Structure 1
Amino acid sequence: MQIMTVALTQDAPQSLWGKASVTYQGNQALIHLTDSDVLRQVQMAARKIRAQGVTSVQLEGELWNIDSQWAFSQGFTTARGEFEVRWCGDEATQTTLTHRFEAASFARMLVNETPEELSPVVLANHAANWLKAIGGDNVSYEIVEGQELLEKQWIGLHAVGRGSERPPAMLVLDFNPLGDDAPVSTALVGKGITFDSGGYSIKPSVGMLDMKCDMGGAATVTAALGLAMKAGLNKRVKLFLCCAENLISGHAYKLGDILTYKNGVTVEVVNTDAEGRLVLADGLQAASDTGAELIIDAATLTGAAVMAVGDNYNAIFSPQTETLQRVQQKAADVSENVWPLPLNEWHKDMCPSPFADTANSRAMKGGGAGGASNAAGFLWRFVTPGMNWLHMDLAAAYSSSDSALWSAGATGHGVLTIAALLEE
């Protein structure tokens, strides 16, 4: 099979190509670097090359570095069809890129899977089996499902998932390379809604079509942990995936229901489509119980985050300013995009209820003004006071259609940032 080589050049294209960003010479493609944002230009060029029907490329030349090669692979990746990117550079660079690609591909595979094939328990098992294959005896886990969730007082997860014939589940996984009762460095929590109809607050078809991606948080934190493990992570990490289908049936939870959580907080359901925060509330309580130095949750949580930062950034929230600064630096180190949005103590009270301590949203489109911050404020109620906590609203985890940067489907954006935080 003939493979196209791809090189970077700072030379302008020959006159017959005009101002083209990509030109071809036989079986070689040249990406002409003219933009100050090199990584964006490389990713867009990769999309153009892939759109020409090219399926296998070898990157070559001295101008490639780890970031530009990764940007190329992001643009070259598609949800359908086999493809191959061969790296260049020294062995360490190629190994790092291979590990990144394996982890991101696992996340994309989960997110792009059909909701029929990826039930909550199947999602939990896929994540556990993949991490077990990487970590071996350092990985142990249990999957709590169905009625057993009620016995363990995971109220939100059970409520959201009980409308489906396929039971909700929580994956509780422990990666412990240190042995004995080592302290937990980081606790990861992922939203794993394998399909979100909106429940009785039903979505329109156009809004429901992509809701197989609503387990993007679970895929992201799982892939990040796997990537860190591949890089030699030597810290104890616990992972909690909150997996459910949000469907309509005679068993489904309803508007006006009041949920009493394990920590005593009561929540009135005013929008069954604000289900992600209800399941994450359980995961955050479980994560808090570990005493971890840092809790990270990731979720495709709000459309408000997309409206605020667009679909090429992930929104981040934390009560600790130094944590936000640390995350921004780690994201920059791996060339991913994050942006902090407001989170103050009073955001906890922005979804008031006359019947409970709080409502799960506000009874208006999108949860009203500041919806992403209000959702973060709701989650904050379920983190033990004083604990170091990061909430990542994954606005950039999924592309609903082809764009200049991404093919339609999962992007994996956020995996590298979280992995970098784990490896620190």
Structure 2
Amino acid sequence: MSNKMKVQLTHEPAAAHWGQAKVTFQDDQAIVHLSKGDELRQIQQAARKLRSQGVTAVNLDGQQWDLDKQWSFAQGFATARHIADIHWTGDEAMRTELAHRLECNFFARQLVNETPENLAPMVLAEQAAQWLTQIAGDKVSYRIIEGEALLAEQWHGIHAVGRGSERPPALLELDFNPLGDDAPVSVALVGKGITFDSGGYSIKGSEGMLGMKCDMGGAATVTAALGLAIKSGLNKRVKLFLCCAENLISGHAYKLGDILTYKNGVTVEVVNTDAEGRLVLADGLQAASETGAGLIIDAATLTGAAVMALGTNYNAIFSPQAELLSLTQVKAAQVGERVWPLPLDPWHKDMCPSAYADTANSRAMKGGGAGGASNAAGFLARFVTPEANWLHMDLASAFSDSGDSLWAAGGTAHGVLTIANLLQD
């Protein structure tokens, strides 16, 4: 007899069940009773319920398990400590796709859930590069710019944010090129890789700091998305930039009132050292722009304002191009993920004024004040070439502090499938 519990789906009503997700048990199997509404959400909640009851291995059984339903179950069944033990159903192509998703999802979750002590900036850069090299072999090349070498190449934002730590900041530049040396770069990916965020001198309270190992969720998301796209047969040149640093306090740390001069000449007054993500992304977006890529995508756990606006079930998206926002919504829906556009107008660039520099990195008020997510996107827009299509994803749904009815505590990898789907377009 298999030690995996069989799980079946039915649209028959449950005579008796417990909790909101309708799950009943019969012999050695669990039956998920679906009702009208969001079936994928119901399945994910049912998976969380089963996991919370100590079920650790399942066999998805029956004809109703399509790709999206199986993946929704996997999302709810995962935990911070273990990869989901699921026997998939369906044809070989479906099972292969699910296995690829699970591997890449687990890679992202592991990175996000790793302790800050173990995941130094250089470790993050190296692990991402090594994992992608294992997938794509000699189609991947990379270099890591570390510590003081960042200044020589004018990556002042990453250096400033990371210089307070004993462990140096780093920029990973990775090139996936299946087409040959002269191939144009189709897409450039940029990820925020703050391996721990104390807030710097604008220090966070303990409650707000506890989960800040998740602040490299953007780097994990774009890396896992590229890995999944490669596994799915990606045949275009993509460059990846991870902006890696620890935001800590020391005698070497950057301070409020400092002014950073970026490679493109933009000067930035630091009015909040806890608005550090946009400072490192500014370097990454300039590097991405230099590739000539027609599409630039960045992902970051950037603002609490995005969470306040959308909650933790959606990722916020921003772009100057309305068509790209619409495409992203379609691509997210195709893989069962949720995104929602927030405003980004040209005048958002000027919403963080400074008397001493071209702009400040925020506004000197809690959370950056009203419209904080859009103002952050407006800041980033200063560092993107206007010729490129640009998508900024603020990952409001990348991390669950304590777990809920949909997600276990820790990283969710919500956003990986959306970006991977965009890469395949």
Q: TM-score range by the shorter chain?
A: over 0.9
What SS does structure 2 have at the residue aligned with 1:323? helix
- Indicate if the aligned counterparts of 2:21 and 2:46 stay in contact, CA closer than 8 A: no
1:326 aligns with 2:327: yes
- Indicate if the aligned counterparts of 2:189 and 2:296 stay in contact, CA closer than 8 A: yes
Matched residues in 2 for 1:177 and 1:83: separation? 32
1:405 aligns with 2:406: yes
- Indicate if the aligned counterparts of 1:7 and 1:31 stay in contact, CA closer than 8 A: yes
- Indicate if the aligned counterparts of 1:43 and 1:72 stay in contact, CA closer than 8 A: yes
Matched residues in 2 for 1:205 and 1:398: separation? 17
Amino acid at match of 1:180: D
1:166 aligns with 2:167: yes
The aligned counterpart of 1:265 is 266
- Indicate if the aligned counterparts of 1:305 and 1:315 stay in contact, CA closer than 8 A: yes
The correspondence of residues 261-340 of structure 1 with structure 2, limited to 5 A, is: 261-340=262-341
Q: 1:18 to 1:71 in 2, by over 3 A?
A: closer
Q: 1:15 to 1:135 in 2, by over 3 A?
A: closer
Matched residues in 2 for 1:140 and 1:98: separation? 26
The aligned counterpart of 1:3 is 4
The aligned counterpart of 2:359 is 358
1:247 aligns with 2:248: yes
What SS does structure 1 have at the residue aligned with 2:37? coil
Matched residues in 2 for 1:28 and 1:154: separation? 56
- Indicate if the aligned counterparts of 2:104 and 2:227 stay in contact, CA closer than 8 A: yes
Query: Deviation digits for residues 197-225 of structure 1, max 9, x if unmatched?
Result: 00000000000000000000000000000
Normalised TM-score (structure 1): 0.99
What SS does structure 1 have at the residue aligned with 2:297? strand
Matched residues in 2 for 1:302 and 1:18: separation? 33
Query: Deviation digits for residues 327-380 of structure 1, max 9, x if unmatched?
Result: 000001001000000000000000000000000000000000000000000000
Matched residues in 1 for 2:193 and 2:17: separation? 51
Matched residues in 1 for 2:252 and 2:365: separation? 25
Amino acid at match of 1:346: W
What SS does structure 1 have at the residue aligned with 2:186? strand
The aligned counterpart of 2:370 is 369
1:12: Cα distance to partner? 1.5
Amino acid at match of 1:5: K
The correspondence of residues 66-85 of structure 1 with structure 2, limited to 5 A, is: 66-81=67-82, 83-85=84-86
Matched residues in 2 for 1:82 and 1:91: separation? 21
The aligned counterpart of 2:28 is 27
1:386: Cα distance to partner? 2.6
Superposed CA RMSD in Å reads 1.2
Amino acid at match of 1:70: W
The aligned counterpart of 1:149 is 150
1:26: Cα distance to partner? 1.2
1:13: Cα distance to partner? 2.0
Amino acid at match of 1:133: Q
- Indicate if the aligned counterparts of 1:13 and 1:19 stay in contact, CA closer than 8 A: no
The aligned counterpart of 1:214 is 215
Unmatched 5+ stretches in structure 1: none
The correspondence of residues 35-50 of structure 1 with structure 2, limited to 5 A, is: 35-50=36-51
Matched residues in 1 for 2:183 and 2:84: separation? 42
Amino acid at match of 1:95: T
1:77: Cα distance to partner? 0.4
Amino acid at match of 2:411: A
Query: Deviation digits for residues 216-246 of structure 1, max 9, x if unmatched?
Result: 0000000000000000100000000000000
Query: Deviation digits for residues 86-130 of structure 1, max 9, x if unmatched?
Result: 110111111001100000100000000000000000000000000
Matched residues in 2 for 1:229 and 1:16: separation? 42
Query: Deviation digits for residues 247-278 of structure 1, max 9, x if unmatched?
Result: 00000000000000000000000000000000
The aligned counterpart of 1:392 is 393
The correspondence of residues 94-133 of structure 1 with structure 2, limited to 5 A, is: 94-133=95-134
What SS does structure 1 have at the residue aligned with 2:171? strand
Normalised TM-score (structure 2): 0.98
What SS does structure 2 have at the residue aligned with 1:274? coil
- Indicate if the aligned counterparts of 2:74 and 2:84 stay in contact, CA closer than 8 A: no
- Indicate if the aligned counterparts of 2:21 and 2:45 stay in contact, CA closer than 8 A: no
Amino acid at match of 2:245: A
- Indicate if the aligned counterparts of 1:399 and 1:406 stay in contact, CA closer than 8 A: yes
Matched residues in 2 for 1:181 and 1:417: separation? 28
Unmatched 5+ stretches in structure 2: none
1:15: Cα distance to partner? 5.1
